[in-house]
Structure 1
Amino acid sequence: MKPFITFSCIFLLFTTISAHSFSEYVTPNFTASYLELIDNFGTFLFSHNKTFKVAVFNPGSQQTSFYLCVIHAASNTIIWSANRDDPVSDSGKMHLTVKGITVLDENGNTKWSTPSLKSQVNRLELTDMGNLILFDNSNGSLWESFQNPTDTIVIGQRLPVGASLSSAASNSDLSTGNYKLTISSSDAVLQWYGQTYWKLSTDTKVYKNSNDMAKYMAVNNTGFYVFGDGGTVFQLQLPLANFRIAKLGTSGLFTVNSFSGTDLKQEFVGPGNGCQTPLACERAGLCTESTASSTPVCSCPPNFHAGSDTFGGCVPSNGSYSLPLACKNYSSVVSFFNIGSVQYFGNFYSDPIMYKGNLSSCQNLCSNNCSCLGIFYKNTSGSCYMIENEMGSIQSRDGGDKDMLGFIKAIVVASSIDVDDKQSSQNGGFPVVAAVLLPIAGFIILMVIFFLVRRRLTLSKMQEVKLGKNSPYSGDLDVFYIPGLPARFDYEELEEATDNFKTLIGSGGFGTVYKGVLPDKSVVAVKKIVNIGVQGKKDFCTEIAVIGNIHHVNLVKLKGFCAQGRHRLLVYEYMNRGSLDRNLFGGGPVLEWQERFDVALGTARGLAYLHSGCEQKVIHCDIKPENILLQDQFQAKISDFGLSKLLSPEQSGLFTTMRGTRGYLAPEWLTNSSITEKTDVYSFGMVLLELVSGRKNCYFRSRSHSMDNDSNSGGGHSSTSSITGLVYFPLFALEMHEQGSYLELADPRLEGRVTYKEVEKLIRIALCCVHEEPPLRPNMVAVVGMLEGGTPLPHPRIESLNFLRFYGRRYTEASTIVEGHENENGSVMLQQTIMASDSPTLAFSYMSSQNISGPR
């Protein structure tokens, strides 16, 4: 019996190897090619449940391009490909070694390989979810296909924030296409050559659950989701399915499909409008939604006809003109073809490059920009939109708003000499037409050159104009074009919107803020910037472009700006509940604990995005209650971020030693240490302490008494206070933490409406944030995790908080008993200057934030 069993095992092993098809995994020194596996259509590995397979595969049944793919077996759908941009022939090979996977062409040249691995490979395994994984001897994952997505994600796979899907060029060519789906902390966005044409947040079929920061996108048996730490941010509930994929298709459509029977069934598509995809009707084609079918109707706009098969799309009917390619074969003589009242997919998700300008200025911006291929101009607002780099399809506005006009840029092409002139030339006579036209043409060319040179000199002069001087010209906003700029406003328009800057709603070292109402009835906050120094307007616009492209639910949105003459103004969304300091320290209703917690969490999320979610890290440097604004439901938004470059050289000189607001400054500012995002963490910790106590971190404990005035003096009364001592709350918080007496730190106005554990949580986080050594402070992503409960609460390191005792003692030594008047919110108006100590730290610590607010 035993020999028979042995023989059977040997036979089965031989059968498996000879078929070149393995179940679940293969081990190093394994090689596979399509020619060797032609009977199995290139397949060499199946998952344990046979749902997925790995193959050297030729999609579309073409015979020239082969790829290493993971395939859903039942539907024959490719869910991942390795060498998508470097296909091999049918004799190309996949080679597995202890160093990883390598795809080789027929000559042995490497076309694709896994990156360097931390240890040697033990096996290559295909899981039942379709994840291709390299494992080491300790069963640890070295590399996974799920972490390197191409154009598809499946159940069990996550697409994290910062990752993206890229379309394939076609169904038979898997090379990276021109469409991309990117996940940010607030949205999922489809783009084509950098032009946005769809956002998940704007799709009416998708439900938004919360304003939490997104972490990853996923599909599962019940639907399609974007998840955050607190649960679902976006959701699309779908019927139960065992297999579901989300895929960015070759035409730019993002679809969710499930497998039923033998076919994939489409359950969701974005964008839902067939004309909203960039090439619905090819280049410059006119797309019209069809009422009879889901397929849009394609035609050509006025003055255009269908192009050749090689060019596609639509081209000018006048053969003397052609459509330019961006910055290639560029002619200096351009024209604009009016294609009537139309729309363009990119306009829905981009801001105009110019606001309240005229059509001529809009066309000039395009003419002077070789990457510009067309413009759209709105008469009522003077808004100018620009198509850059690549032109897609145009959308018909059938019976809709006729206010938006489209203009396609065209260049003059070289034309042959008139037939009659040719004949005259062949007869030996000089063409009469040429004799007349050549002198005229020469004169026109000279005049064109003269005006172009003159214009260039004029623009150069205008660029040299300093912002601090009176501008001798008007319309200077048309001089510069910088991609990404938000809306531009005229000074007169903002003057009118604010009723001549009538309603002041805030002020600081960086400017004053006024309430305004734009013509579209939207309420805004208009900040008049002061002391911006003598830098060029282009630098100003570039900086605004950076700020304008930073979008997060916990950051105040910049809606526009004004740079006209000496005027520099910023237009922000209006926050109807004002700043945190007014709500926390003012005389209004007491902020409840949950509201304070929500403010803390929102502020932390906003800072985490600035530090980790932006393309370029942004360090705020001035986190304080005045710069945290509140909306309905006490949603917190950080303001005044990213504007440090707008300071004058005099102010910038102060930056190296004390940037921001005293009382919230990290110790490293005083020691000339390097400034990192951990300086914001320190400031956030100080704000967190103020949220707990409901008072400024440095305040005077006082006793008060009331005394009625003489009735003959008017019958009023006044309150006076006798200050008995200065309290440095961070030190008090440290001492109560050591004693475990957390409820002593809570705002007494809450009157017991907060628990011991709730206060302990915020105090421990705050004390960790204000550690003296920056490396000991958590980053803001970790702080968000602590607040949300996903990260364990840390224990503050007392040795790194002893500096608070020194600060507290120096405060006590420097303070004097001062008589003062208590105002309505309980803070004291000092009438005697506190004696300065010899400590450089204390030299600025006693002053209120209003007096010493730094650059902002």
Structure 2
Amino acid sequence: MKPSIITCSLLIIFLLFTSTISANTFKAYITPSFSASFLKFIDDSGTFLTSPNGTFKAAIFNPGAQQTSFYLCIIHVASSTITWSANRNRAVSNSGLMNLTLKGITISDKNGNNNPVWSTPPLRSQVDRLVLTDMGNLILLDPSNVSLWESFRYPTDTIVIGQRLSVGSSLSSSSSDSDLSPGNYNLTITSSDAILQWFGQTYWKLSMDTKAYKNSLSTVEYMAVNTTGFYLFGSDGTVPVYLVTLPVSNFRVATLDNYGHFIIKSFSFGTGWKQEFVGPDDGCGTPLACGRVGLCTDYDDPSSSSSSSSSSSPVCSCPQNFRVGSGNSGGCVPSNGSYSLPFSCNNNQSNSSLVVPSFLSLGNGLDYFHNIYSDPVMDSVDLSSCQDQCSKNCSCLGVFYRNSSGSCYVIENELGSILSSNNGANQDMFGFIKVSLGSTTTNDGTRDGETSQDGSGQFPVAAAVLLPVTGSTLLVAFLFFWWRRSIKSSKRQDMNKFGKTNNNNNPHSSGDLDAFYIPGLPRRFDYEELEKATDDFKTLIGSGGFGTVYKGVLSDNAVVAVKKIVNIGVQGKKDFCTEIAVIGNIHHVNLVKLKGFCVQGRHRFLVYEYMNRGSLDRTLFGGGPPLEWQERYDVALGTARGLAYLHAGCEHKIIHCDIKPENILLHDHFQAKISDFGLSKLLSPEQSGLFTTMRGTRGYLAPEWLTNSAITEKTDVYSFGMVLLELISGRKNCYFKSRSHSVDEDSNSGGRGGGGGGHNSSSSSMPGLIYFPLLALEKHEEGSYMDLADPRLEGRVTNEEVEKLVRIALCCVHEEPALRPNMAAVVGMLEGGTALPQPRIESLNFLRFYGRRFTEASMIAEENDENGGTPQGNSSSVTSGGSQVALVSYISSQSISGPR
């Protein structure tokens, strides 16, 4: 009897085990609670779900047939092509689990159920089922058949027909065919183009591709491929801005491959894949065509005439002073073993090796791929200034210098291949790579200065080079100093002799800046040059705390904004120029570019790029057409990205201290750019104490300004939150409401406190002065987010979209700076990569106090209007014409500053 029981038990265990490795694949959808692993569905290669027509499948898959890294993937069945993957950043083993619950999808490895490596973001309702459509879209649906989450909204390296890549979104390459972790190449969609980048260096633009046809001047909204071609769509998705017409195909993908090529290809049974478009299409177009510092020469290949493939056959070599590196580097290293290539300070490699930075010449007639798509960092400078600009920047790894124009281009973050044309172009372009000399590890694995023999009795190579160089440098410096001193003495004697002083307004005078040298300065303009460009400062386009702004046109027809600095007091030219050098070297797509400056006599001017659409306040609060919700969202995201760069992305951290709509400027297609960043650095210590008074923008200042607490980057976060609230409502955070119109007429009245004068309703329900941040807090507590949206949008925004921005804004305006997110986290929230936190109500209760104060001030103002005078003995006075409230830290700005 017992053997029979044992036999039955073993049989049951065997059947259970076999069921775990041969589970049936589901078709179209699955429901919670469900789990899948590669081992559980091993008979179907990890496939647990297929689309209704079998075109796509979802699987726990190991690309490249390796057995260590598994991913949740969507796969095109006929071609075995992965079109989407979930856990790119963290692969799991063959026993890793995909779990579908009422809360969404999680992926965990082995026993790590409590610590998933990937999960869907928090959802607004419970999951009813997971669906895989015939287009390859993985969708979570609720019981009402409403989409909660879609894989199409989170593209990886590929999009398919029916999928959109919206402005601000990007594709990122995989590291390899078997490693799906994000690589170093990105395709990003902007409001005007599609661009390819590598470590922030652009190497292709659709607008510059000869196969792309520009069809419209509209703003780009998204990229898509369909059965007839490849498009950048604008105007609500109805008008192509750029298009590439392709043969009709029922299945087509656009993908960014592991080598940085953007490829569009179609698939058909029998013939397989056909490549239809590739960008860039020349052999030297990708950043690492010939490896690091490899010299890529592009020769035309007559046998390759198809536009669907690369049209050239590159030849790789090494530039002068370099040789092929050993090992698998695939690039070139200095021929002199005493030198080593640098690593950027943003790289994991230590940059402390740059003890003695020098430059190795690449020769002339060469170029670098990024130079084609970027502006020089400086113009009209000499080579030594260009190299000095690179020497002091640890992110800079090399320079290219155009001798004819004095243009200086820099290579930052990573070194790519060098370009050499077989037609002899760019003969006036010279290239230099920054190298280090000292005891550091070289690319060959040896150490600088070491030899294969015992060098204990030898004179160090570095010393043999440095001592003569140092001695010569000191001698030259002494002679130069003596010569300059004699020249200045002669000039002083001549001026004393004739009773004259130096004319600081003379455009040819060098007395302003020649007495000292500051590396990294942007272009220096003469006063007469700016006077002519602005037609004697005729067109005033703005004014603010630091001065007035005029529109100008330079001699090369470039339109600029010329800011006359008037409120920095008496400051030395050298101090001024030192700070301008810092500001001028900060470059970001969401920061207004400083093109140059002028220092002559008492004149101080800054020359900025011109923003066609002016400042955000004019568009947001003006009488013109309202900004659409997507435009407001793009402005918020652009501003957040610019601030995140100022706080953490540039070499010198900058706290703006004056974020407001007037300092957010709009370029074509409503691209947001922050102005006036770094200008607080121009203040003397005495003036910085008057900063808030001078700028006049108290409506955006954080509570720490009143308590004399430390001012950190979280101060900018608070100001950004206040601006975000204004973007939501389309009005100033402090505005007057007449008795004939009430915000609560369209919603339930009765707040949660904050009313003044003993009223139970909220301060926002009363006529008079409305403090919108308090209203936002109250509506957040009620969940009535649509009551906060700009009524001019007339339903063109959803409750979920408004809720997202309200929650982010409230988190930004927490009273305690430590509770506010940093700007990098805010960018992640806006982009969707970071889960939205819940605002901390206890840290927002201070808004109720300010709301009561505004209500009281409003009542006093009304009493004042009725009595025809100002009540005595009360400091909380308001005049409807000036919106002046005693709570001085929170009055909205009425001034306009920053370049327009």
- Specify every segment of 5 or more residues in structure 1 that has no aligned partner in the other structure, as ranges: 1-13, 455-469, 481-486, 584-590, 690-728, 741-766, 817-836
Structure 1 equivalent of residue 387 of structure 2: 363
Deviation, structure 1 residue 359: 0.8
Deviation, structure 1 residue 341: 1.9
Structure 1 equivalent of residue 136 of structure 2: 130
CA contact (8 A) 1:621 1:660 kept: no
The one of 397, 406, 417 equivalent to 1:373 is 397
Confirm or deny that 1:314 pairs with 2:338.
Answer: no
Structure 2 equivalent of residue 403 of structure 1: 428
Letter of the 1:126 partner, please give it: L
**1:336–1:622 Cα change, 3 Å:** same
| Residue pairs, 1:524-535, within 5 angstroms | 524-532=560-568
Q: Distance in 1 between matches of 2:98 and 2:724?
A: 49
Deviation per CA, 1:280-317, whole angstroms, max 9, x where unpaired?
A: 22211222333224134123333434333522123344
Structure 2 equivalent of residue 458 of structure 1: none
| Residue pairs, 1:644-663, within 5 angstroms | 645=680, 648=683, 656=692, 659-660=695-696
More displaced stretch, 351-360 vs 133-142: 133-142
More displaced stretch, 381-390 vs 439-448: 439-448
CA contact (8 A) 2:139 2:150 kept: yes
CA contact (8 A) 2:298 2:314 kept: yes
Letter of the 1:381 partner, please give it: S
More displaced stretch, 336-345 vs 645-654: 645-654
Structure 2 equivalent of residue 488 of structure 1: 522
Give the secondary-structure state (helix, strand or coil) at the position aligned to 1:290.
strand
Structure 1 equivalent of residue 160 of structure 2: 154
CA contact (8 A) 1:476 1:564 kept: no
Letter of the 2:72 partner, please give it: L
Aligned length: 704
Confirm or deny that 1:511 pairs with 2:518.
Answer: no
Deviation, structure 1 residue 479: 3.8
Confirm or deny that 1:50 pairs with 2:54.
Answer: yes
CA contact (8 A) 1:48 1:127 kept: yes
Structure 2 equivalent of residue 706 of structure 1: none
Structure 2 equivalent of residue 257 of structure 1: 265
Give the secondary-structure state (helix, strand or coil) at the position aligned to 1:842.
coil
| Residue pairs, 1:685-834, within 5 angstroms | 771-776=770-775, 786-787=792-793, 790-791=796-797
Deviation, structure 1 residue 642: 4.8
CA contact (8 A) 2:576 2:682 kept: no
Confirm or deny that 1:71 pairs with 2:75.
Answer: yes
Q: Distance in 2 between matches of 1:640 and 1:436?
A: 51
**1:446–1:543 Cα change, 3 Å:** closer
Letter of the 1:265 partner, please give it: K
The one of 284, 297, 314 equivalent to 1:297 is 314
Deviation, structure 1 residue 375: 0.8
TM-score scaled by length of structure 1: 0.65
| Residue pairs, 1:432-581, within 5 angstroms | 443-444=467-468, 447=471, 474=514, 478-479=518-519, 488-492=522-526, 495-499=528-532, 502-506=536-540, 509-514=545-550, 516-532=552-568, 540-543=580-583, 549-551=588-590, 558=593, 560-562=595-597, 568-574=604-610
Structure 2 equivalent of residue 462 of structure 1: none
Give the secondary-structure state (helix, strand or coil) at the position aligned to 1:246.
strand
Letter of the 2:56 partner, please give it: F
Structure 1 equivalent of residue 295 of structure 2: 286
Q: Distance in 1 between matches of 2:312 and 2:285?
A: 12
Deviation per CA, 1:616-673, whole angstroms, max 9, x where unpaired?
A: 498976767xx999999x99999956576367467765664685489xx79999x989
The one of 311, 333, 352 equivalent to 2:376 is 352
More displaced stretch, 339-348 vs 395-404: 395-404
Confirm or deny that 1:170 pairs with 2:168.
Answer: no
**1:84–1:608 Cα change, 3 Å:** closer
Structure 2 equivalent of residue 841 of structure 1: 878
Q: Distance in 2 between matches of 1:117 and 1:126?
A: 20
Deviation, structure 1 residue 677: 5.3
Structure 2 equivalent of residue 113 of structure 1: 118
CA contact (8 A) 1:132 1:145 kept: yes
Letter of the 1:774 partner, please give it: P
Letter of the 2:524 partner, please give it: D
The one of 194, 197, 202 equivalent to 2:203 is 197
Q: Distance in 1 between matches of 2:182 and 2:670?
A: 40
Structure 2 equivalent of residue 277 of structure 1: 286
Letter of the 2:588 partner, please give it: N
Deviation, structure 1 residue 20: 3.4
Give the secondary-structure state (helix, strand or coil) at the position aligned to 2:409.
strand
Give the secondary-structure state (helix, strand or coil) at the position aligned to 2:607.
strand
CA contact (8 A) 2:293 2:417 kept: yes
- Specify every segment of 5 or more residues in structure 2 that has no aligned partner in the other structure, as ranges: 1-17, 305-310, 345-350, 438-446, 479-509, 647-655, 708-714, 746-765, 780-784, 803-851, 885-892
Q: Distance in 1 between matches of 2:95 and 2:83?
A: 21
Q: Distance in 2 between matches of 1:602 and 1:499?
A: 40
TM-score scaled by length of structure 2: 0.62
**1:394–1:143 Cα change, 3 Å:** same
Letter of the 1:75 partner, please give it: S
**1:87–1:809 Cα change, 3 Å:** closer
**1:418–1:509 Cα change, 3 Å:** closer
CA contact (8 A) 1:377 1:383 kept: yes
Structure 2 equivalent of residue 334 of structure 1: 358
Q: Distance in 2 between matches of 1:636 and 1:102?
A: 37
Q: Distance in 2 between matches of 1:106 and 1:78?
A: 27
**1:153–1:550 Cα change, 3 Å:** same
Letter of the 1:324 partner, please give it: P
Deviation, structure 1 residue 77: 0.9
Q: Distance in 2 between matches of 1:636 and 1:307?
A: 43
CA contact (8 A) 1:667 1:772 kept: no
Confirm or deny that 1:32 pairs with 2:57.
Answer: no
Deviation, structure 1 residue 79: 0.8
Q: Distance in 1 between matches of 2:177 and 2:637?
A: 37
Q: Distance in 1 between matches of 2:856 and 2:209?
A: 53
Give the secondary-structure state (helix, strand or coil) at the position aligned to 2:399.
strand
Deviation per CA, 1:89-147, whole angstroms, max 9, x where unpaired?
A: 5x434343537443435999978332575677654432222223445667665654334
Deviation, structure 1 residue 250: 0.7
Letter of the 1:549 partner, please give it: H
Give the secondary-structure state (helix, strand or coil) at the position aligned to 1:392.
coil
Give the secondary-structure state (helix, strand or coil) at the position aligned to 2:796.
coil
CA contact (8 A) 2:768 2:855 kept: no
Q: Distance in 1 between matches of 2:617 and 2:466?
A: 70
Deviation per CA, 1:488-533, whole angstroms, max 9, x where unpaired?
A: 11133x6435439734322655324455443533243322222236
**1:855–1:212 Cα change, 3 Å:** closer
Give the secondary-structure state (helix, strand or coil) at the position aligned to 1:68.
strand
CA contact (8 A) 1:602 1:635 kept: no
Letter of the 1:504 partner, please give it: K
CA contact (8 A) 2:366 2:419 kept: yes
Give the secondary-structure state (helix, strand or coil) at the position aligned to 1:282.
coil
Give the secondary-structure state (helix, strand or coil) at the position aligned to 2:37.
strand
Q: Distance in 1 between matches of 2:58 and 2:613?
A: 58
Structure 2 equivalent of residue 104 of structure 1: 109
